[in-house]
Amino acid sequence: MEAGMPSEVALVPERVLVGGELTPERGVGVWVAGEWIREVVPVADLPSHLPRWELPGATLMPGLIDAHVHLDLPGDGSTFAILSEGDETLAVLAAANARTALEAGVTTVRDCGSRGQSVYAVRRAAGMGWGELPDVVAAGAPLTITGGHTWPMGGEADGPEGCRLAVRRRVRDGCDFVKVIHSGGGTPNTAPWRPSFRPEELRAIVDEAHRLGRRVTVHCLCADAIRQAVEAGADQIEHGYFYVAPDRQEVDRDTIDLLARTGVAVTPTLSVAECQVQAEPGDVRWRHNAEAGRRMAAAMVEAGVRLVAGTDAGWRYVGFDAVRGEIELLAQAGMGSRGALAAATCASASALGLKDRGRIAPGMRADLLAVDGDPLGDLAHLRRVRLVLRAGRPVPQGGQASSGGDSGKQ
Ligand SMILES: [Zn+2]
């Protein structure tokens, strides 16, 4: 708790997006006690002794979750060049990136791949309450075949036994989940349209991770990779692209139906191509990729596939505040404002197994975001951040001390 901040406070915005349905309610106050939400009650029922923070015109919603970031990458288009730096330098970069995310209202980031101890160091610092950092859920180095995508992060593993050993080493090092690379990607000499691991290797990874109580999410850029990952028992798919050749994606109905039927969530990371196009507007190839990505996401939404908001921040040109753009893209893909907001809050928390967050309800963590205006009416309001609370603690914006809204009783 910050000096000067009361241990209990009532937030009184114009509207609150309540519960797992993000139901907008007016005349409601959110009673925060320490790290937790204690009650969500009509303003008239708030105890009179409770200090109130009035947030007129604002909407209070759960803090955002970015389900796919790479904290130790810079998001400046240089991809893996940064990995020539030492772990200590990467940890400093990771902390700065994490802070950028938090100021944008992202109270939890899931790091889908880093090198060495850099991101674990930031997770540790966040847990100690040092600096202003979001919660970090981390995988360490992604498992990949020798020479596979992301191999410079240090996660090469081969053969079923080698793969089991790699999972055990990650659990020893404290991973929260296991990230697997099961197709090529943006690493030289890898092919997005081909799966990577042999099916028996993939099954060994999933089995070992589940035996040790860790979820598995799998990078898949082609339909065969997605299908094999689902058949191996993976919990989630990252990207979920459908490449059949360089720069060519084709909808695969059977694979999309499999995803819909099994309920395996997909993080479509639409921001990768969108941010690339924004950074290099003349790049026809990436315009085409962005358009194809939107089409694939729309096909998945239509088929009823669970989509989760994750940006791939750090990779290529994706910034650590990009989740707002990702939410807009998911809404345009057919999820609508509320569905897209759920994909970055309650639905994401449930897909990721984070039971204590993602909803405004009694007993949940006080990870909260207040924005000016109504984001259900216009998602652009997500960029008008008024207040961020992480575990009940107000986050200073841009290094400025936050007032936390107008204090005092009404
Ligand atoms: Zn990634």
- DSSP assignment of 124-149 equals HHHHHT-SS--EEEE--SPBB-TT-T
Rounded to the nearest whole angstrom, what is the distance from the C-alpha of residue 42 to the centroid of ligand 1? 42
pTM of the complete model: 0.95
Mean pLDDT of the 37-58 span: 97
CATH number of 64-352: 3.20.20.140
Rounded to the nearest whole angstrom, what is the distance from the C-alpha of residue 59 to the centroid of ligand 1? 31
Q: How far apart are CA 117 and CA 123, in angstroms?
A: 10
Q: How far apart are CA 240 and CA 296, in angstroms?
A: 9
209-231 tens-digit pLDDT = 999 999 999 999 999 999 999 99
Q: What is the predicted pLDDT for the residue at 396?
A: 86
67 has pLDDT over 80: yes
Any idea what the Cα angle at residue 285 is, between residues 250 and 148, rounded to 5°?
70
| DSSP three-state, residue 271 | helix
Mean pLDDT of the 54-61 span: 98
Rounded to the nearest whole angstrom, what is the distance from the C-alpha of residue 6 to the centroid of ligand 1? 39
Rounded to the nearest whole angstrom, what is the distance from the C-alpha of residue 359 to the centroid of ligand 1? 26
**pLDDT above 70 covers what percent of the chain?**
96
400 has pLDDT over 70: no
Rounded to the nearest whole angstrom, what is the distance from the C-alpha of residue 70 to the centroid of ligand 1? 6
Q: What is the predicted pLDDT for the residue at 269?
A: 98
Residue in the structure block whose two tokens are 């860790």: 214
Rounded to the nearest whole angstrom, what is the distance from the C-alpha of residue 181 to the centroid of ligand 1? 9
Rounded to the nearest whole angstrom, what is the distance from the C-alpha of residue 69 to the centroid of ligand 1? 6
For the chain, the structural domain boundaries read 8-63+357-394, 64-352
Cβ neighbours for 127, distance < 8 A, ≥ 6 positions apart: none
Least confident range of 298-312, 331-345, 386-400: 386-400
Mean pLDDT of the 20-26 span: 97
316 has pLDDT over 70: yes
CATH number of 8-63+357-394: 2.30.40.10
Q: What is the predicted pLDDT for the residue at 397?
A: 79
Rounded to the nearest whole angstrom, what is the distance from the C-alpha of residue 142 to the centroid of ligand 1? 9
Rounded to the nearest whole angstrom, what is the distance from the C-alpha of residue 148 to the centroid of ligand 1? 14
CB 312 within 8 A of CB 258: no
Q: What is the predicted pLDDT for the residue at 79?
A: 87
Identical fold, 8-63+357-394 and 64-352: no
Rounded to the nearest whole angstrom, what is the distance from the C-alpha of residue 125 to the centroid of ligand 1? 23
Q: How far apart are CA 348 and CA 62, in angstroms?
A: 11
* pLDDT grade for 386, boundaries at 50, 70 and 90: very high
Rounded to the nearest whole angstrom, what is the distance from the C-alpha of residue 13 to the centroid of ligand 1? 36
**pLDDT above 90 covers what percent of the chain?**
93
Q: What is the predicted pLDDT for the residue at 398?
A: 67
* pLDDT grade for 125, boundaries at 50, 70 and 90: very high
Rounded to the nearest whole angstrom, what is the distance from the C-alpha of residue 237 to the centroid of ligand 1? 11
Give the CB-side neighbour count of residue 183, counting CA atoms within 13 A: 28
